[in-house]
Structure 1
Amino acid sequence: MKTIRLITFLIVLGAVYSCKEKRNQKPIEPPMKKKTVVYQVFTRLFGNTNTTNKPWGTIQENGVGKFADFTYEALNQIKDLGITHMWYTGVPHHALINDYTAYGISNDDPDVVKGRAGSPYAVKDYYNVNPDLAIDPAKRLEEFKALIDRTHNVGMKVIIDIVPNHVARNYEGVTNPEGVEDFGVSDDTSKEYDVNNNFYYIPGEAFKVPEWQNGYLPLGGEKSSLVDNTFEENPAKWTGNGSRLAQPHFNDWYETVKVNYGIRPDGTKDFDELPEAFWTKDYIAHYEFWKDKTLPDSWHKFKDIALYWLDFGVDGFRFDMAEMVPVEFWSYLNSNIKMKKPEAFLLAEVYNPELYRAYIHLGKMDYLYDKVDLYDSVKHIMKGYGWTDHIPVVQQKVADIEHHMLHFLENHDEQRIASPDFVGDPKLAKPAMVVSATISTSPTMIYFGQEVGEPGAEEAGFGSPTRTSIFDYIGVPHHQRWMNNKKFDGGQLSEEERDLRDFYQRLLNFTIGSDALMGDYQEIHYYNKDHTEGYDHRVFSYVRWSSNQKLIVVSNFDAHKSYDLQLKLPEDIIANWQLENKTYQLKEKLYGKASKKLSVNDGRGEVQVDLEPLQSFIFGLKQ
């Protein structure tokens, strides 16, 4: 119950900030002229050509990808897909089961590691990288730096993870810069809480590993001297998800410990709050506000980590579980990041819509996941029971912050589209992908393998099917067919898989080159429901425009039904576009095969559209 109270308090705390957005916030203008497209790649899985896929397989049995597998050929193929930013997931050195003691790295305990390959969100050393990813673990930092350089040389930016809410239970920096002290080294462990402790403690109680459930055993039950149902930690620390139990539950984040940011156990704060005026101030003002303040030690530690990686060449960060960390810390961290690198790309995992505006305006985040509204809505539509009528509703909810709401249909936490537990057929995502990528000015993200219909079907070990495992050594079969023994030419793809990748390539490349997609938006869905015969809740339509480009987007989410429609453009759009009563040519932008005519009469527009099942059109107006 205490854990629940703490998490509830933090949520309520953010909600208080979100209430302040009721003041007349103006929409923030997009800072870029063209769309951003992020390619999330699970780094250790990308280049692995091993197809053994034994459940709980070792690194020797199932293989692992390396930094070096991202060759110039691979990176150019990814860039040609329409990608602007690479999010290399799982780069910071996290706890894992492999012996690297020859390189001065301590072994990790399987009793507090999930899977063999370990969770990328249980970081063990923030000043180094996962030794699994290096050909020579002694030169792992040099190999990652070479990957950053290759990525930059082909014209893409680099994003990595930072996980400020928690670290691995066995955190141990082995290559810290001079003067950098590990988390917890100077903590007063006799206290549950001290403002400058990096962790929370349970004085007088030693940590106990969870009681394993559902047939789970570390390493899949393999006999190992490391598996003894114990892990030495005395006193016990709070667990990453906030559990205050010395023996966390199996479903707790037992492999991690929660970082203390100066929030007392009763929920009160040991740091200054931002004045109300800071809702509308820029990152420079936020930086100035914090620079002379006395702040908890953990704030400084994570600032130093972020600046270290910026100096290393990284272009931005994806922040895990950002809403579990106080928004004031984000103001401090992100303003420091922006002072060093104003163009840094800052993406946060926030799932509570009541917190969105606080984490954008006060926390100075660039982008948040649009998971709870847009993703969840289109997922329901793809599965057949959602209505497209809901899309304008969720878009209106975030109209003032739409540029900041990153869109995706897959990531490492979500089910693969092609999994039977989602929709089972990657083609069913085509209309949703068109809408997701073109409805707003926000960035688009795809997950590696999505573009070839990867179903995540492997029984990997700790990971379960439907999601490609982030905990195990495993191969990714559809993606491996695209790799084609590291030729990266799609040589082993089926015709359907090749066609799917071609669709993604056409769509994403169109988005990063379109002026209109960084301009204005208006839905025409409800107008057509009222005025167009045969138009229903399985179709969705809207317009996008800028001063030099006008687009009409229409998608059919139905896998079986065709539509023969006289799609309408209402008077206000015709007036806004300054169209005369005449006929205009429309050019289809994805495949270039369908030319249509827009007829304008009496200030209203009409275009004949024949939509096959799952078909989308992006029509550009020729003027």
Structure 2
Amino acid sequence: MKLKFSSTFMVLIFIFVACNHKKQELKENMEVKTAKKEVVYQVFTRLFGNTNTTNKPWGTIEDNGVGKFNDFTVKALNEIKELGVTYIWYTGVPHHDVIRDYTEFGISNDDPEVVKGRAGSPYAVKDYYNVNPDLAVNVENRLQEFEALIERTHKVGMKVIIDIVPNHVARNYEGKSNPKGIEDFGETDDKTKQYDVNNNFYYNPGEAFKLPIWKNGYLPLGGEKHLLIDGEFDENPSKWTGNGSRASQPDFHDWYETVKVNYGVSPDGRKDFSELPEGFENEDCKTHFKFWKDKIVPDSWVKFKDIALYWLDKGVDGFRYDMAEMVPVEFWSYMNSSIKMKKPNAFLLAEVYNPDMYRDYIHKGKMDYLYDKVALYDTIKHIMQGHGWTDHIIGIQDYKADIEHNMLHFLENHDEQRIASPDFAGSAEKGKPAMVVSATISTSPTMIYFGQEVGEPGAENAGFGSPTRTSIFDYVGVPNHQRWMNNGKFDGGQSTTEEKELRDFYKRLLNFTIKSEALMGNYKEIHSYNREKLDNYNRKLFSFVRWSENEKLLITSNFDTMVHYDLDLQIPSEVITSWELKDGNYTLVDQLYNKEKFTLKVANGVGVVNIVLEPLNSYILKLKE
């Protein structure tokens, strides 16, 4: 889930606001220098292994099929790893609402009127201590099947991330798998009060919940008759809705399938918990953990901490937190410091879209990484669509120079439009220069979404929602990915030539990034220098250098779809000095395809290299010592 910010707001923040935040001191900086880049592969778990190509709107499992944990075979996992992946984010694992009868396994049916789609939103979690029954071959053993997948993933050399959705739970949350001693959400709430610090939810005493008024021709299950579609959902008193709506009858556009979790913040904004002392943003996780040890915290805090520790015990290596900015930063200090005490290298990624809150959630909330959405992604998307300037990238990188390592880069995820969809770029090829810039411009991790590497356009009308994004609400097949999957052979046997070439590009790029020392080192843009010096260098191009003691890179990309550029690209004297190059000729070797060599001529302390950049082409050139 995500909030939207206008491009005008983004430009004002990132292009014209100077970054006056002090640089972090760092143990963390030392870690960055010795580490290598990470690559996260987000996979929508129920879609990955599905070979059914019917794609009937609102189709059932029988109509459209569904993927299983067991579809992630050792062969499949090895192919993902060989793409250059270090972490897999298995999206949609915790048990969420689904429209399918599993009552024989002790699972209650879910009302279609408070479920989005037929397969349900992964962000309406119904039972945090179990997994989606759709994903299991044997429903009774669904948890064991996921544990086996964790083990297989580890054996091939990758780590596992799953979702935790702290801001809200399914309207009909029902923790039937709770470990001994764990109470259900809301089980002991005082429902006569709108708010109590230890209530898990907010209530409207005396008011019953009413279903939203359906709009835009929408009907649950597309209008299909169903025993539970009766215009009612029993919830009395009504709870506040996940996106913060306090109405007993939420709007159709609200997150009506979920209820908001209470973290000890009263309706008037009062925080009924201890706040972090001044300067605590500079303290480590151990100090944060010690701070909370003798504090009484709201009940919801403890519940979510217990959930996270439970999954760590199952072998999970990290979490992606949905809409983290809707939860107080103090909770994250409590939660994440507890996680780090148990698993110091846990990978903690948060969905945060408010730039003013970035540093608080990193330093105070102890997040490892945040989405670089309202910044690099938005700007690169505009460039790919033909109405953005590469000049704007400079201001973005300057603004977040002190936190660049913490801002995870992506071009696709389950919330965003597919690059190849007409509403985004209309062509997967336009993602190539964007991906080079996104993956190499900083020390942060890179994330790709399954199917991105084969140009999936997200064109299917699956039911709830609209095309351009691969549906996360319904049972559907993913055509480009299915051709690569080749009925479980995972060898690209049905892929088109274009799809194979695109996947090869991603494979080459991502594998380079996870091995490169320079990409964890220094950065300097040379774009503005060349804009000033060269008449034929424009805002469709972007160039920068990355270097470490043992590796020096020149990276240049052409976002133009039609024009090739013959450039005498210049490297300014300050870079040449940092690289300790004397006047003379040096060889630069392309690292993507290892076919081309270029000559860097250094004269009077300035470097010049002649490069012909074809449309949508990029070079990662390494100085040959």
Per the TM alignment, residue 384 of structure 1 is displaced from its structure 2 partner at its CA by: 0.5
Q: Helix, strand or coil for the counterpart of 1:31?
A: helix
Query: Partners in 2 of 1:505 and 1:541 — Cα distance?
Result: 22
Query: Partners in 2 of 1:463 and 1:311 — Cα distance?
Result: 36
Contact 1:533 1:565 in 2 (8 A): no
Q: Which residue of 1 aligns with 2:596?
A: 594
Per the TM alignment, residue 375 of structure 1 is displaced from its structure 2 partner at its CA by: 0.2
Q: Which residue of 1 aligns with 2:537?
A: 535
Q: Which residue of 2 aligns with 1:304?
A: 306
Q: Structure 2: which amino acid aligns with 1:494?
A: T
Query: Partners in 2 of 1:613 and 1:24 — Cα distance?
Result: 39
Matched, 1:364 2:387: no
Q: Helix, strand or coil for the counterpart of 2:471?
A: coil
Q: Which residue of 2 aligns with 1:549?
A: 551
Q: Which residue of 1 aligns with 2:519?
A: 517
Q: Structure 2: which amino acid aligns with 1:205?
A: E
Q: Which residue of 2 aligns with 1:29?
A: 29
Q: Helix, strand or coil for the counterpart of 1:128?
A: strand
Query: Partners in 1 of 2:107 and 2:24 — Cα distance?
Result: 51
Deviations 1:212-262 (A, max 9, x none): 001111111001111111100000000000111100000000000000000
Matched, 1:568 2:566: no
Q: Structure 2: which amino acid aligns with 1:560?
A: M
Contact 2:22 2:402 in 1 (8 A): no
Quick one: which of 414, 426, 429 aligns to 1:427? Answer: 429
Q: Which residue of 2 aligns with 1:98?
A: 100
Q: Helix, strand or coil for the counterpart of 1:276?
A: coil
Q: Which residue of 2 aligns with 1:9?
A: none
Deviations 1:102-138 (A, max 9, x none): 1110000001000000000000000000000000000
Per the TM alignment, residue 531 of structure 1 is displaced from its structure 2 partner at its CA by: 1.1
Contact 1:94 1:118 in 2 (8 A): yes
Deviations 1:297-330 (A, max 9, x none): 0000000000000000000000000000000000
Matched, 1:54 2:56: yes
Contact 1:456 1:467 in 2 (8 A): yes
Deviations 1:385-413 (A, max 9, x none): 11110111111110000000000000000
Contact 1:30 1:518 in 2 (8 A): no
Q: Which residue of 2 aligns with 1:386?
A: 388
* Alignment map for 1:226-375 (pairs within 5 Å): 226-375=228-377
Contact 1:66 1:135 in 2 (8 A): yes
> Unmatched 5+ residue regions in structure 2?
1-12
Query: Partners in 2 of 1:222 and 1:374 — Cα distance?
Result: 42
Query: Partners in 2 of 1:203 and 1:473 — Cα distance?
Result: 37
Matched, 1:501 2:503: yes
Query: Partners in 2 of 1:437 and 1:30 — Cα distance?
Result: 21
Compared with structure 1, are the counterparts of its residues 318 and 89 closer, same or farther at alpha carbon in structure 2 (3 Å cutoff)? same
Quick one: which of 121, 124, 130 aligns to 2:123? Answer: 121
Query: Partners in 2 of 1:401 and 1:255 — Cα distance?
Result: 35
Query: Partners in 2 of 1:609 and 1:30 — Cα distance?
Result: 35
Contact 1:533 1:566 in 2 (8 A): no
Contact 1:30 1:403 in 2 (8 A): no
Query: Partners in 2 of 1:433 and 1:180 — Cα distance?
Result: 44
**TM-score when scaled to structure 2?**
0.96
Matched, 1:174 2:176: yes
Runs of 4+ in 1 over 6 A off after TM superposition: none
Q: Structure 2: which amino acid aligns with 1:29?
A: N
Query: Partners in 2 of 1:346 and 1:428 — Cα distance?
Result: 30
Per the TM alignment, residue 533 of structure 1 is displaced from its structure 2 partner at its CA by: 3.2
Deviations 1:63-120 (A, max 9, x none): 0000000000000000000000000000000011001101110000001000000000
Deviations 1:531-587 (A, max 9, x none): 123111111000000000000000000010000000000010000110011111111
Q: Structure 2: which amino acid aligns with 1:31?
A: E
Query: Partners in 1 of 2:350 and 2:589 — Cα distance?
Result: 37
Per the TM alignment, residue 23 of structure 1 is displaced from its structure 2 partner at its CA by: 5.9
Q: Which residue of 1 aligns with 2:8?
A: none
Per the TM alignment, residue 22 of structure 1 is displaced from its structure 2 partner at its CA by: 5.6
Contact 2:589 2:623 in 1 (8 A): yes
Q: Which residue of 1 aligns with 2:142?
A: 140
Q: Structure 2: which amino acid aligns with 1:571?
A: S
Q: Helix, strand or coil for the counterpart of 1:177?
A: coil
Contact 1:57 1:473 in 2 (8 A): yes
Quick one: which of 172, 196, 199 aligns to 2:198? Answer: 196
Per the TM alignment, residue 383 of structure 1 is displaced from its structure 2 partner at its CA by: 0.4
Q: Helix, strand or coil for the counterpart of 1:451?
A: helix
> Unmatched 5+ residue regions in structure 1?
1-14
Q: Which residue of 1 aligns with 2:5?
A: none
Per the TM alignment, residue 208 of structure 1 is displaced from its structure 2 partner at its CA by: 0.6
Query: Partners in 1 of 2:278 and 2:543 — Cα distance?
Result: 39
Per the TM alignment, residue 25 of structure 1 is displaced from its structure 2 partner at its CA by: 3.8
**TM-score when scaled to structure 1?**
0.96
Q: Which residue of 2 aligns with 1:444?
A: 446
Contact 1:463 1:470 in 2 (8 A): no
Q: Helix, strand or coil for the counterpart of 1:159?
A: strand
Query: Partners in 2 of 1:269 and 1:618 — Cα distance?
Result: 50
* Alignment map for 1:149-160 (pairs within 5 Å): 149-160=151-162
Compared with structure 1, are the counterparts of its residues 554 and 30 closer, same or farther at alpha carbon in structure 2 (3 Å cutoff)? farther
Q: Report how many residues are paired.
A: 605
CA RMSD between the two structures: 1.1
Q: Helix, strand or coil for the counterpart of 1:332?
A: helix
Query: Partners in 2 of 1:318 and 1:522 — Cα distance?
Result: 30
Quick one: which of 392, 411, 414 aligns to 2:413? Answer: 411
Contact 1:381 1:387 in 2 (8 A): yes
Per the TM alignment, residue 463 of structure 1 is displaced from its structure 2 partner at its CA by: 2.8
Q: Helix, strand or coil for the counterpart of 1:579?
A: coil
Q: Structure 2: which amino acid aligns with 1:490?
A: G
Q: Which residue of 2 aligns with 1:476?
A: 478
Per the TM alignment, residue 26 of structure 1 is displaced from its structure 2 partner at its CA by: 2.6
Matched, 1:377 2:379: yes
Query: Partners in 1 of 2:332 and 2:544 — Cα distance?
Result: 35
Per the TM alignment, residue 30 of structure 1 is displaced from its structure 2 partner at its CA by: 6.2
Query: Partners in 2 of 1:449 and 1:186 — Cα distance?
Result: 44
Per the TM alignment, residue 285 of structure 1 is displaced from its structure 2 partner at its CA by: 0.5
